[in-house]
Chains A and B, each alone.
Chain A
Amino acid sequence: MIDVIAQALPLAVVASTPLLLAVEGETVVERSGIINLGIEGMMLTAAMTAVVAAQLTGSAVAGFAGGIAGALCIGALFGLFTIVRRADQIVTGTAVNLLALGLTGFAWRELEQRDLFTRSVPRITFDVIVPAAWIIVPIALAIMLWNTSFGLRLRACGENPEAVRASGSSVDAHRWIALIIESVLAGIGGAYLALALSSGFAENMTAGRGFIALSIVIFGRWKLKGALLGTAVFGATAAIQYALQATSRGVPFHLLLAAPYVVTLLILCGIAGRVRAPESLGK
């Protein structure tokens, strides 16, 4: 049993990296008062644009740049409706997901027939994304949110935007910056999913990671510590349940597949502390 877990954990760290990047991005954006339900579509779009960019240039680095660019386009679209036009964030996020699922599926079917896309996808040779996602990004974001005046204003946009306005700062500008940070992180996450965890794009390949990210942000109480813990628990349980399926111990696989959700829920609910969303979230 111990060796099963020991073998599964390194797999878990790598496999849950895209999820972690999404959780970190969503934490920042929700702190600024925006709930971006469209993060699933954002990652899915990034996964496709990453593959397209990587195939066109033959370079994995360009692939990641393409992923970020794709996510930024979706972020800009979402921001245009929610920040500029003040549209309902939930409805816009849902629309973004539907749009991304339909568009990427359609575009991919057209593209994959071409010769360019039948050759193998360039691989990343040195994986800097995993340590960045698990160590550097959370530290950097935590310092930004809690130790800088910019971070204070950004959190204030989520709690009391009137106060930010009264102090002479622009709420919209802070929200745009939060959305850009999220887009970059989700873009890297989507690109990592397509270029490192897989070798190419498949329709709906994010398979609900964005929605899991949304719930981990809530259960992680909008804190980066919670984001790391929630993702780690979810990822580790997912990897361990596959290892248990593979060692065939007679537990029905349906139960094992549900384990990551149940365990994450129990652990994060069990941690003491008041659940309080940013006051102006979604408004």
Chain B
Amino acid sequence: MKRSPAALFLLLALACGRTETAQSNSAPPAAPSKETLKVGLLTPGAVNDNGWNAIAYEGLQQIKAKLPAEVSHQETKTPAEREEAFRAYGAQGYLLAFGHGFEFQDAAMKAGAQFPKTVFITTSGSSVSKNVAPMVFELEQATYLLGVIAARESKTGKAGLVGGMNLPSIASTFLAFKAGAQSVNPKFEVKEVYTGNFDDAGAAKLATLSLINAGCDFIFHQANEAGRGVFDACRERKVRCFGSNKNQNDVAPEVVVASAVLDVPTAFVTVATRVRDHQFKPEVQWLGMKDGIVSLVWNEALKKSIAPATVAEVERIEKTIRDGSFKVPRGKF
């Protein structure tokens, strides 16, 4: 049996990889009762991923503490699992069930038709029925403002965008950035570079340096973990840049001027509160600056280097976004 040690080792290695994903299935929800409000969450992956699924789980924990509510979480990977899990929440009298992703729409529509008393919310998407709706985050409102800052403060008339993959949600934030920049100066050039993944910080750094070589003096990224390479390149060449999704002003405080921040956990709480207070309407749940979900956070130390007129202009536009008189352009998806 020449191969057996290797095969054993392979199994061991696989087991190590699996333990991370297998631990997060929670116990089946308890029997229904009238007093407690019950909220369920389905995620497409493990909730300790430090990203997409982790922020949804954080949202669920905040719902538990703030509403308060009894909560349940399940990890579902296949269409059949999603439908089954949604149906289970409906059958057990859950008031609200979240499906964390575009891919939960079909399951939500099917379960929604069968259990009219439960509200099914998907994170992003467009399917709406009487008790089914997506929540859509308007990060574009903040990236539009970043575009305005870049166009006002740039000396070269060029800004660069670094993307991991060309996903619709990412392309949409870039589109808004471009629209913001060109609202200031129609000839302002915005260059885009994609690296093809979200892991390779080395590639993101190379992409950023290429943009700087091409004359860009403001950089914005949507490269998640690989964004580290973007900040490194900017720090090396002393080029100003912006943070995305999280407040990244502290990652490279000498070059990050501001961040476009998205507060997903609060979005979950906001939607759950709407449903609890019977404020839920069967329509896309837009969540942006008005709701405190999206914000532009300045790096106070670098804000001084920005012309007061630019800061005032950004504040003025932000006000029109908040009161709804100005709609920021976004991609269709």
Contact = CB atoms under 8 A, between A and B. Distances in A.
Contacts of A205: 199-202, 225
B33 interface: no
A109 interface: yes
Interface string B1-26: 01111110110111011011000000
A134 to B, nearest CB: 17
A102 B16 contact: yes
A59 interface: no
B117 interface: no
Interface stretch (B130-138, B210-218, B241-249, B260-268): B210-218
Interface in A186-215: 193, 197-200, 202-205, 207
A253 B166 contact: yes
B205 interface: yes
A243 B210 contact: yes
Contacts of B214: 243, 246-247
B51 to A, nearest CB: 10
Nearest to A202: B225
Nearest to A241: B210
A15 interface: yes
Interface stretch (A62-70, A91-99, A142-150, A152-160): A91-99
Given A242-B207, A246-B214, A105 B166 contact: no
A248 B161 CA distance: 12
The number of chain A residues touching the other chain, given as a range, is: 35 or more
B82 to A, nearest CB: 25
B202 A198 contact: yes
Interface stretch (B190-198, B282-290, B294-302): B190-198
Given A87-B5, A193-B202, A245 B225 contact: no
A82 B3 CA distance: 10
Contact of B48 (A11, A109, A239, A242): A109
B248 to A, nearest CB: 13
Given A87-B3, A105-B20, A200 B228 contact: yes
Given A243-B214, A245-B207, A87 B2 contact: yes
Given A18-B202, A103-B16, A253-B166, 18 more contacts: A7-B210, A15-B203, A15-B205, A87-B2, A87-B5, A92-B10, A95-B9, A98-B17, A193-B202, A197-B205, A198-B228, A202-B201, A202-B226, A238-B203, A245-B192, A246-B216, A247-B191, A248-B191
Interface of B: 2-7, 9-10, 12-14, 16-17, 19-20, 48, 50, 160, 166, 189, 191-197, 199-203, 205-207, 209-211, 213-214, 216, 225-226, 228-229, 231-232
19 contacts: A7-B210, A15-B206, A87-B4, A95-B13, A98-B16, A99-B13, A102-B16, A198-B229, A202-B228, A204-B199, A205-B201, A205-B225, A207-B197, A207-B203, A239-B206, A242-B193, A246-B211, A248-B189, A253-B193
Interface of A: 7-8, 11, 15, 18, 81-82, 85-88, 91-92, 94-96, 98-99, 101-103, 105-106, 109, 193, 197-200, 202-205, 207, 238-239, 242-243, 245-248, 253, 257
